Amino acid sequence: MIRTGVSTIALAMLLAVPAVAQEKKVAPGAATPAAADAFLERATKEYSEFSEDDARIQWLYATYINDDTSALVAKSGAEGTEMAVRFALEAARFDKVSGLSPDTKRQLDILRSGITSPAPTRAGAAASLSKLQTDMQTVYGTGKGTLKGQPINGSDIEAAMGTNRNPAELKEMWTSWHDNVGAPQRADYQRAAGLLNEGARELGFKDVGAMWRSNYDMPPEEFAKLTDKLWNEVKPLYESLHTYVRWKLNEKYGDAVQPKTGPIRADLLGNMWAQEWGNIYDLVAPPGSGDLGYDVTDLLNAKKYDAIKMVKTGEGFYSSLGFAPLPDTFWKRSLFVKPADREVQCHASAWNLDNVDDLRIKMCIKVNGDDFVVIHHELGHNYYQRAYNKQPLLYRTGANDGFHEAIGDFVALSITPDYLVSIDLLDKDKVPSADKDTGLLLRQAMDKVAFLPFGLLIDKWRWGVFSGGVKPTGYQGAWDALRLQYQGVAPPVARDETKFDPGAKYHIPANVPYTRYFLARLLQFQFYKAACDQAGWTGPLHRCSFFGNKDVGKKLDAMLEMGASKPWPDALEAFTGSREMSGAAMVEYFAPLKAWLDEQNKGKPTGW
Ligand code: X8Z
Ligand code: ZN
């Protein structure tokens, strides 16, 4: 199975098998091109058989967390890791063999470096790692915060952080979530990180961070440099936004809550992690023209949308591009709303259980604008999974993981006012006029631009943990320092080394690499600009919707069908004509806003 969003992709990351695997290991014969091909065939078959059950176990756990499913998923996870490590070691035998076909070489490389959670081969190590990771995910998935002293679950507290404007209550929600969910994982995380590194080293990598960075068709050091280069392209945009938003928050809350200088208080930004700020658009809207005349949450509610109607609408967009409807099983087997009577992992994810067409999403959908976008995001994963389902199994993943995260977001950039009219959510006479463009761009920037440093720093922290630059005694301090350095935000209450705020963000307990989301933020604008060019759009970029454009759909499908069969620059070129990931399209999209922000910011303190 290929699960995206949660553990993402790659087979690679699943694989493993314990004691039994050792017995199954074939005696090493001569390392020849033919032996490499035979090995790949065997590995692919074994993986495919394993994943049939493993996928179901993972699905059951994610949609019904209890002691039994936890035990099953931990066991299956350990088996998957052992299998993956066994294949990686076996793949390494062919490193120096000459005469391998490019495809054989590429698939061997995927087997070698594509494991997200490698474990050492010594007896019991994979089981220990898997148990630690399952326990952390259970703490996260079942975690609660409080609001006015009452327990509140993860998806409710996330929504409440978006609408609540009471600084004391925001602080309570922020602190309780981070204390209750993050801190208990601290010791387990340290142990898991040690095992992951040990596993990565056995496979010939410096540490597990270097292993993650080696999945981008370039040397790991080059990839780290590329992310910094990309960040520098968009950093001025973020700084302009930060300056403006801090000023507005100071106007709203006063010096005692949000001073005019220094970092922004992290709980005031409308999101538990201060990762996207669109929910506080009302606090920062441009004076006079800031009221856009509509709000997606209000529109969905006015038209009595429920979770299913929201997903159907998302499907409708992809159908308009020419993609086949989702299979009946998608509607039967997906989890769309939080069940009342059991614990589930609410963090949204998209699945393909049989690597063919057993597509599903798992989400605790709320009728609001945020989740409308997340639905398009998840469906992007599903349509990608289906598009590459005829590739050899090891290629059934994204060109790189940033591509997988970018597809649905790229589609959601087309949710323009005119698009909302065409699906009858917005009345034609409510389409904001051109003088509202600044407001529309600012609304979008609050989500898209605000996210950039967050998207980068999560793995800056983890790469540091894995390389040893961040010591276990300084987990929290290093986290706060990166949040300050990159985002310019600070926690609402003092933290110390009894805390573990990284654990309060899903992808840390779930061990999902996060740089993918940073890449996706940029890639989605590259895809969007290319699609709008293909569609012949000549208006302001942010007003373009390629809804209904079958030519765009065809070209998109051509890129998606490639899966990981070619280096990612080939896939990028197929759709955009460019072979470089770049911040330029995003900078172009927001250029009018940047000019406006810099005008507003004149004479105001900048930086932190
Ligand atoms: O985790 C997700 C998706 C599932 S792949 C809902 N995202 C990141 C997050 O929520 O932190 C999408 C945007 C960033
Ligand atoms: Zn995703």
Residues 263-318: pLDDT tens digits?
Answer: 999 999 999 999 999 999 999 999 888 889 899 999 999 999 999 999 999 999 99
Q: Which tens digits make up the pLDDT trace of 500-558?
A: 999 999 999 999 999 999 999 999 999 999 999 999 999 999 999 999 999 999 999 99
Domain coordinates of the chain in residue numbers?
33-115, 298-439+516-573
Q: How many Å lie between the centroid of ligand 1 and the Cα of residue 5?
A: 7
Q: What's the confidence (pLDDT) of residue 17?
A: 27
Residue 1: band (very low, low, confident or very high) from pLDDT cuts 50, 70, 90: very low
pLDDT of residue 272: 98
Q: What is the pLDDT of residue 323?
A: 98
Residue among 517, 519, 521, 523 to mutate when testing ligand 1 (max atoms within 8 A of CB): 517
The tens digit of pLDDT for each residue in 33-81 reads: 999 999 999 999 999 999 999 999 999 999 999 999 999 999 999 999 9
Going from the Cα of 349 to the center of ligand 2, the distance in angstroms, rounded, reads 6
pLDDT of amino acid 27: 55
507 labelled catalytic: yes
**Residue 483 — left, alpha, or beta (φ > 0 → left; ψ -120 to 50 → alpha)?**
alpha
* Ligand 1 neighbours (beta carbon < 6 A): 5, 275, 348-349, 374, 377, 517
Reported as a single tens digit per residue, the pLDDT across 378-421 is 999 999 999 999 999 999 999 999 999 999 999 999 999 999 99
Please, which pLDDT band fits residue 21 given cuts at 50, 70 and 90? very low
Report how far ligand 2's centroid is from the alpha carbon of 401 (Å). 9
**Quick check: 23 pLDDT over 70?**
no
Q: Specify binding-site residues for Zn(2+).
A: 377, 381, 405
588 is catalytic: no
How many helices (H) and strands (E) the chain has is answered by 24, 7
Sign of CA dihedral 459, 460, 466, 470: negative
Q: Residue 181 above 80 pLDDT?
A: yes
Nearest Cα to 286, choosing from 486, 161, 413, 432? Answer: 432
Ligand nearest to the CA of 371: 1
Q: Which of 14, 40, 59, 41 is nearest to 352 (CA)?
A: 59
Least confident of 120-134, 178-192, 279-293: 279-293
| Mean pLDDT value across residues 182-199 | 98
Protein residues within 5 Å, CB atom, of ion ligand 2: 5, 405
Helix axes 437-467, 475-482, angle to 10 degrees: 150
- Look at 19-33, 84-98, 250-264, 434-448 and tell me which has the smallest mean pLDDT: 19-33
Mutate to test the pocket of ligand 1, among 271, 361, 374 (most ligand atoms within 8 A of CB): 374
Retrieve residue 196's tokens: 């992951």
Write the CB contacts of 451 (distance below 8 Å, at least 6 apart in sequence): 275, 276, 517, 521
* Chain segment 130-158, per-residue pLDDT in tens: 999 999 999 999 999 999 999 999 999 99
How crowded is residue 353: how many other Cβ atoms within 10 Å of its Cβ? 21
- 3-state secondary structure at position 112: helix
Per-residue pLDDT tens digits for 462-495: 999 999 999 999 999 999 999 999 999 999 999 9
Q: For residue 28, what pLDDT band results from cuts at 50, 70 and 90?
A: low
Strands 349-352 and 359-362: antiparallel
CB 13 within 8 A of CB 117: yes
Residue type, 161: M
Instruction: Return d(Cα 608, Cα 71) in angstroms, integer.
Output: 46
Rounded to whole angstroms, the Cα distance separating 494 from 496 reads 7
* Among 347, 404, 507, 542, the one annotated catalytic: 507
